[in-house]
């Protein structure tokens, strides 16, 4: 029987010139870091994962080496324990699924029970844009065949959302109802330096009313991630669907929010919580409910494809996030660790029939960007 032979972790940094101004950050990003996890079995096969920095994993390799790589539930429980004591190491779960697919000679999406490799996607912008520029971006997305677009609102500027509404109005005037529109309010969590509070229910309500007027499909992270009562009240007060949960650290906490009526749309990311193993179970548990699961995917290209496999396996999402805001957030940046970028055509990303995740690393680029 093949066993896990070794685990290798490398860190990489891609310089960004011009810089990327993420709407949720407020500080220019002059580089993009990525951590790559490689899992080798004793027969020489390799599984890869990425998405978080694997902080706290060093010293825990012996909990996996020598074990059956196909014992995915066991490995996921160990990663959950590591997450509790140290850091988020879920990219290892992704790498183990990639390895398991190669052992079984099946793509991950099929291992998860999927029958269709096509994943409908929406264009997810990442920066703030002036109204005309935002309308131009929406028009370009429409021309590429995207069925929907997510627009970012400024996160902490008091009353700043009123300017963002003007941008949304420009988009509606330009593309009409040809694009389904979503809005990320960026209130669910803060960057380490950001001590300003998230919106309260009373602050979020007038925003929701404006989004309702403009026919927005969902309103993402309008309140602090733990404000169960506020989310529930906001859902009751508007027809706009309420989305969130992308950065919740534990699936049990996320389940509490879902059970408490916080969300219409829930967005955990396999690279940040639960891995493919945990989120597959979580997603299946939502099938008999009215809560839609469509994950956050803003880690990197490898994280994107892992979440696409997850959703092709589970099904049920109207569309899945495709981070794309050229020129400062194009495929050349998002997918720099991959030999081929994760593409979409006409609003659909089609996964391959290759074993595992069906992707390979750009080792030359990774060597040039390696930090250690």
Residue 191, C-beta contacts closer than 8 angstroms, at least 6 positions apart: 24, 25, 26, 27
Residue 53 phi/psi, 5-degree rounding, is -90, 0
| Rounded CA separation 270/97 (Å) | 12
| Rounded CA separation 40/65 (Å) | 9
What integer pLDDT is reported at residue 55 of this predicted model? 96
What integer pLDDT is reported at residue 154 of this predicted model? 84
Homologous superfamily in CATH for domain 111-350: Enolase-like C-terminal domain (3.20.20.120)
| Rounded CA separation 303/322 (Å) | 11
What integer pLDDT is reported at residue 156 of this predicted model? 72
In angstroms and rounded to an integer, the radius of gyration of the C-alpha atoms of the chain is: 20
DSSP codes of every residue in 154-221: PSSSTTTHHHHHHHHHHHHHHHTTSSEEEEE---S---TT--SPPPPHHHHHHHHHHHHHTT-SEEE-
CA dihedral 323, 327, 333, 339 (to 10 degrees): 90
DSSP state of 1: -
DSSP state of 139: H
DSSP codes of every residue in 30-87: EEEEEEEEEEEETTS-EEEEESS--TT-TT-GGGTTTS-TT-HHHHHHHHHHHHHHS-
Residue 282 phi/psi, 5-degree rounding, is -60, -45
What integer pLDDT is reported at residue 246 of this predicted model? 96
Pick from 24, 13, 34: nearest CA to 191: 24
CATH says 4-105+365-369 is which class?
A: alpha beta
Q: Which residues of the chain form CATH 3.30.390.10?
A: 4-105+365-369
What integer pLDDT is reported at residue 141 of this predicted model? 98
What integer pLDDT is reported at residue 26 of this predicted model? 82
Q: Which helix (H) or strand (E) holds 118?
A: strand 118-124
Strands 292-293 and 4-20: unpaired
Cβ 298 vs Cβ 283: under 8 Å:
no
Collapsing DSSP to helix, strand or coil, 233 comes out as helix
Q: Which residues of the chain form CATH 3.20.20.120?
A: 111-350
pLDDT tens by residue, 338-357: 999 999 999 999 999 999 99
What integer pLDDT is reported at residue 314 of this predicted model? 98
- Name residues of the chain where pLDDT drops below 50: none
């Amino acid at each position: 029987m093949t066993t896990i032979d070794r685990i290798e972790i490398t860190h990489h940094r891609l310089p960004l010139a011009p810089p990327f101004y993420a709407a949720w950050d407020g500080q220019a990003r002059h580089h993009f870091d990525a951590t790559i996890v490689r899992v080798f079995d004793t027969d020489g096969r390799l599984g890869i994962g990425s998405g978080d920095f694997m902080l706290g994993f060093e010293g825990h390799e012996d909990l996996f080496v020598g074990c059956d790589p196909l014992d995915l539930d066991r490995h996921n429980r160990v990663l959950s324990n590591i997450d509790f004591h140290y850091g988020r190491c879920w990219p290892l779960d992704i790498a183990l699924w990639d390895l398991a697919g190669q052992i079984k000679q099946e793509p991950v999406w099929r291992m998860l029970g999927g029958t269709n490799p096509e994943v409908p996607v929406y264009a997810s912008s990442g920066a703030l844009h002036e109204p005309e520029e935002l309308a131009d971006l929406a028009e370009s997305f429409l021309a590429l065949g995207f069925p929907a677009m997510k627009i970012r609102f400024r996160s902490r500027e008091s009353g700043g959302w009123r300017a963002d509404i003007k941008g949304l109005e420009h988009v509606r005037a330009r593309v009409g109802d040809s694009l389904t529109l979503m809005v990320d309010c960026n209130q669910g969590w803060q960057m380490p330096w950001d001590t300003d509070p998230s919106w309260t229910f009373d602050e979020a309500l007038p925003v929701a009313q404006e989004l309702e007027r403009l026919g927005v499909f969902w309103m993402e992270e309008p309140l602090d991630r733990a404000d169960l009562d506020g989310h529930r009240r906001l859902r009751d007060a508007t027809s706009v669907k309420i989305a969130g949960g992308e950065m919740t650290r534990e699936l049990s906490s996320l389940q509490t929010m879902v059970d408490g009526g916080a969300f219409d749309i829930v967005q955990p990311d396999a690279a940040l919580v639960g891995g493919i193993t945990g989120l597959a179970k979580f997603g299946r548990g939502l099938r008999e409910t009215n809560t839609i699961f469509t994950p956050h995917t803003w880690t990197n290209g490898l994280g994107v494809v892992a979440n696409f496999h997850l959703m092709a396996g589970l099904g049920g999402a109207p569309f899945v996030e495709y981070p794309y805001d050229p020129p400062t957030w194009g495929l050349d940046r998002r997918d720099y660790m991959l030999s081929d970028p994760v593409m979409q055509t006409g609003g659909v990303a089609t996964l391959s029939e290759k074993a595992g995740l069906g992707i390979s690393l750009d080792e030359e680029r990774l060597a040039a960007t390696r930090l250690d």
